[in-house]
Structure 1
Amino acid sequence: MGTVLDSHFLALTAFVTVVYQFIFFVITALFKIDQVTDFAGSTNFVILALLTLILKSTWHFRQVVLTLLVVVWGLRLGTFLLMRILQWGEDRRFDEIREKLAKLIVFWTFQAVWVWTVSLPLTVVNASDGGGGSLKPADVIGWTMWVFGFLIEAAADQQKLFKNAPENRGKWCDAGLWKYSRHPNYFGEMLLWWGIFVAASPVLEGAEYLVVFGPVFLTLLLLFVSGIPLLEASADKKHGHLGAYRFYKKTTSPLILLPRGVYGNLPGWCKTLFLFELPFYSRNLHEEDAIYKKSLQESIN
């Protein structure tokens, strides 16, 4: 695959992404609505997948399969998130930025970067000549990873809807896959996008392996920025005073699916080093404990 062709496809997908996200940015800025935000992100993946496949038109089996996988994921997630936000009415993530234009610009810019970057493995595959020859073991491994990731994410999303029932309002999710992970939907999403990269690897040569930045970026984003940290902080604020919640958090893996009996008995260093139980996920609880201990000491003295 030539470098000229690479740059053309990369530039085109970047341009389409910026224009698409800008349209929805204008809509949200003018009408102060949240309903289209996640839909705009998910459907952008679908547009880039179909656009690159059709423009190249080599129709290699690998290209068609990977495009189909991304389209299925994007349509499923986009539809789910759109229906959910229409039911909820607003997205609390935007409470502090809805009226602030500068922060909205930062958010939509970041979303455009997310879409374009994570799409890189598929973009390179669809831009290639013939998809890299015959199918390889990496194709099957990658597709299998995607299937498991997709099923985990979809099941976790549906199970979390239990919170819509009046009797479950205000509770944290502790059903189905959420018994084995505090964020199984994010685990599924990471797994399926790493699967896309693995299935794309037979096509990659030399510097093209830099497209690994796509799943790396997604993983870092969910672990450190807009995924787990925000949800952990929100849950701690709502439920941190409850002993049952603290027990759930102590015995339930933050990401990778594991039985509670296994995870709960692991040493803290093992959880942090291998299972992403990062200290700042419980920063609010630690601060509350410190305040409580200080006040208790002062009352004794």
Structure 2
Amino acid sequence: MQWGEDRRFDEIRSNLGRLTVFWILQAFWVWTVSLPVTIVNASNRRPCPTAADAIGCLLWFAGITAEAIADRQKLYFKNSPDNRGKWCDIGLWKFSRHPNYFGEILLWWGIYVISVPVIDGAENLVVVGPIFLTFLLLFFSGIPLLEDSADKRFGSIEEYRQYKRITRPLIP
């Protein structure tokens, strides 16, 4: 809310066809990613807690924590007048160029792992949810867009190129 509009969508808003495709893709994304939760909530199978539950909860907790911390660190960085015209390389951003996306991916895989003891047969196809999210962030709407934008803004700066060379794009 403090950052205002997302500049990545400026071109989309002015074209009704692209805006329609964007919103349909968003609806498909929400439906697909939430499939494990939907299937589990609709199921009458309630197994005892399993190792998958513990592992899934740990993944989810690590993911939500990483995403929240990374988002907070970036907000703090962007709100500082001293950082105008700089890329974020503090906190988790020292170890990953996109730690917030790493957290997002981790938390949805955690939810999927939690659903594994409950799903059965064709319901196993709900794995498409975290796969789809991972694919979108890695190859379509997340990292590629932000990497291109950062390269355009900072690509001529040697310190940025060094940061990009030594800092992993996703996994810290």
Same fold per superposition (TM over 0.5): yes
- Structure 2 CA distance, aligned partners of 1:212 and 1:98? 32
Deviation at 1:190, TM superposition (A): 0.4
Q: Deviations over 1:180-221 (max 9, x none)?
A: 000000000100100000010000111111000000000000
- Structure 2 CA distance, aligned partners of 1:97 and 1:205? 40
Confirm or deny: 8 A CA contact 1:153 1:187 kept in the other structure: yes
Deviation at 1:240, TM superposition (A): 0.2
| Counterpart position of 2:171 | 256
| Counterpart position of 1:135 | 49
- The aligned runs of 1:102-113 (5 Å cut-off) are 102-113=17-28
- Structure 1 CA distance, aligned partners of 2:7 and 2:70? 20
| Counterpart position of 2:65 | 151
- Structure 1 CA distance, aligned partners of 2:50 and 2:9? 44
% same residue: 67
Confirm or deny: 8 A CA contact 2:34 2:129 kept in the other structure: yes
- Structure 2 CA distance, aligned partners of 1:243 and 1:96? 30
Classify the secondary structure of the residue corresponding to 1:150.
helix
| Counterpart position of 1:214 | 129
| Counterpart position of 2:160 | 245
Deviation at 1:150, TM superposition (A): 0.6
Letter in 1 for 2:80: A
Classify the secondary structure of the residue corresponding to 2:116.
helix
Deviation at 1:164, TM superposition (A): 1.9
Relative contact order higher in (CA < 8 Å, ≥ 6 apart): 2
Letter in 1 for 2:68: A
- The aligned runs of 1:41-52 (5 Å cut-off) are none
Deviation at 1:91, TM superposition (A): 1.6
What TM-score do the two structures reach when normalised by structure 2? 0.97
Question: Which runs of 5 or more structure 1 residues have no equivalent in the other structure?
Answer: 1-82, 258-301
Letter in 2 for 1:154: A
- The aligned runs of 1:59-78 (5 Å cut-off) are none
Structure with more helix by fraction: 1
| Counterpart position of 2:30 | 115
What TM-score do the two structures reach when normalised by structure 1? 0.56
Letter in 1 for 2:113: V
Confirm or deny: 8 A CA contact 2:45 2:118 kept in the other structure: no
Classify the secondary structure of the residue corresponding to 1:109.
helix
Question: Which runs of 5 or more structure 2 residues have no equivalent in the other structure?
Answer: none
Classify the secondary structure of the residue corresponding to 2:12.
coil
| Counterpart position of 2:142 | 227
Letter in 1 for 2:83: N
Letter in 1 for 2:78: K
Letter in 1 for 2:48: S
Choose which of 188, 199, 204 in structure 1 pairs with 2:103. Answer: 188
Q: Deviations over 1:100-146 (max 9, x none)?
A: 11111011010000000000001000010043x21111001100110
Confirm or deny: 8 A CA contact 1:181 1:253 kept in the other structure: yes
**Bigger radius of gyration:** 1
Confirm or deny: 8 A CA contact 1:163 1:170 kept in the other structure: no
Choose which of 91, 96, 102 in structure 2 pairs with 1:176. Answer: 91
> What is the alpha-carbon root mean square deviation over aligned residues?
0.9
